[in-house]
Amino acid sequence: MKKTDADELFIANREIAFQQQEKEDRAAELIIANKELLFQNEQKELRAAELIVANKELLFQNKEKELRAAELIIANKELAFQNAEKEARAAELIIANKELAFQNTEKEKRAQELLNANNELKKAEDDIRKLNEELEQKVIDRTAELETVNKELGSFSYSVSHDLRAPIRAINGYSRILAEDYADKLDDEGNKILLSIITNSKKMGVLIDDLLAFSKLGRKQVTVAEVSMIDLVQTVRDELIFDKKDNIPVFTISNLLPAKGDKSLIKQVWVNLISNAIKYSKYKPTTSIAISSNEKDDLIIYSVRDNGAGFDMQYYDKLFGVFQRLHSQEEFEGTGIGLAIVQKIVNRHKGTVWAESILDEGTCFYFSLPKSI
């Protein structure tokens, strides 16, 4: 009985040992399985991390693909636009080529026209050359005629200076003898007529002098030099002679710029203009004469202003004519040549002369001279 129990106990212990061994084996297997599971988990985590990286890379690549797709769309649109532009340029080039072909045709026509025009021009040049030759001959002929006329004019001037002056001096001299020796034998009407003869013979002498001065201007050589206008005007003013009963003029002279020209001729301009200003102001309570100058472009403009009788501007075209007068001889004496002389002198200096006036209020005469002649 005891043996049986011992056997059963032995078997039970062996069973327990076996089970314990099995448990240890299972525990070892479990440890190995846990290690394997841990390794697999680690591998899974690595794969998961790689998968995350791969997903990110895939997402980045998808975005890049989308960007490339968008760029491709834009590039396609740009390519389509460029193709359209190329087609447009091609169309324009076709039109330009047609235009160029047309222009070439036109150029050929113009070239032919130019050739014809050159032929005509050459013919015209030949005609002009012939005309110039004829003109040169005419100039030679006219120059000879002019020299003849000038000689005749010189003879005429001599004749006027001597032959006409002599009888006028005789008339004036005999008239004065009659006035001095026979005045008491003549009645008032006779003395009046005699005085008229003396006065008119004197006027005739002055007129002859003015005519000679005017005719000599065309032949006098203009000598150009620097002219001090302020000195010249002051000289003219100082040479003026007045009677006690005369209305002595008040001069205002300012800003007189120097000029280039013939001093003696320009002096005559000032003499005539200043004398006119004094003459036509004699009926005014006071005589004021303002003389000045200013620059305009390449000209120097001089002016002589008075407060005298003035004139009606509607008769301006007569102002510088020979023997043209805008006032009666009884009102203001003169020959009507003074302003013509002024104009001729100024014109010979390549300048101009003009005037502005208001009747009964005064006149301003201007004349211009170039800064260089």
**Rounded distance between C-alpha atoms, residue 341 and residue 175, angstroms:** 31
pLDDT at 333 > cutoff 70: no
pLDDT at 154: 56
Greater model confidence, 245 or 216: 245
Q: Say which amino acid occupies 124.
A: A
**Rounded distance between C-alpha atoms, residue 156 and residue 148, angstroms:** 12
State both tokens at 308: 């005298």
Q: How confident is the model at residue 369 (pLDDT cuts 50, 70, 90)?
A: very high
**Rounded distance between C-alpha atoms, residue 176 and residue 164, angstroms:** 19
Per-chain mean pLDDT for the chain: 82
Average pLDDT over residues 128-156: 74
Sorted by where each begins, the domain ranges of the chain are 1-219, 223-373
What phi and psi values does residue 262 have, to the nearest 5 degrees?
-85, 115
Burial class (CB in 10 A: 0-12, 13-18, 19+), 251: middle
pLDDT at 261 > cutoff 50: yes
pLDDT at 291 > cutoff 80: yes
**Helix pair angle (188-217, 165-181), 10° resolution:** 160
3-state class (DSSP) for residue 50: helix
pLDDT at 213: 61
pLDDT at 212 > cutoff 60: yes
Considering only the top CATH level, what class is 223-373? alpha beta
**Rounded distance between C-alpha atoms, residue 270 and residue 263, angstroms:** 11
Say which range, 131-140, 197-206, 270-279, has the weakest mean pLDDT.
Answer: 197-206
Greater model confidence, 13 or 166: 13
3-state class (DSSP) for residue 130: helix
Report pLDDT digits (tens) over 26-62. 888 889 988 998 999 889 999 988 889 888 998 999 8
Exposure b/e, 220-237, CB count within 10 A at least 16 = b: eeeeeeebebeebbeebe
Of residues 288, 332, 325, the one with CA closest to residue 306: 288
pLDDT at 293: 93
Of residues 343, 342, 349, the one with CA closest to residue 371: 349
pLDDT at 5: 76
Average pLDDT over residues 272-279: 88
pLDDT at 332: 46
**Rounded distance between C-alpha atoms, residue 50 and residue 21, angstroms:** 42
pLDDT at 170 > cutoff 90: no
Task: Give the rounded percent of residues in the chain with a pLDDT score beyond 90.
Answer: 19
What phi and psi values does residue 24 have, to the nearest 5 degrees?
-65, -40
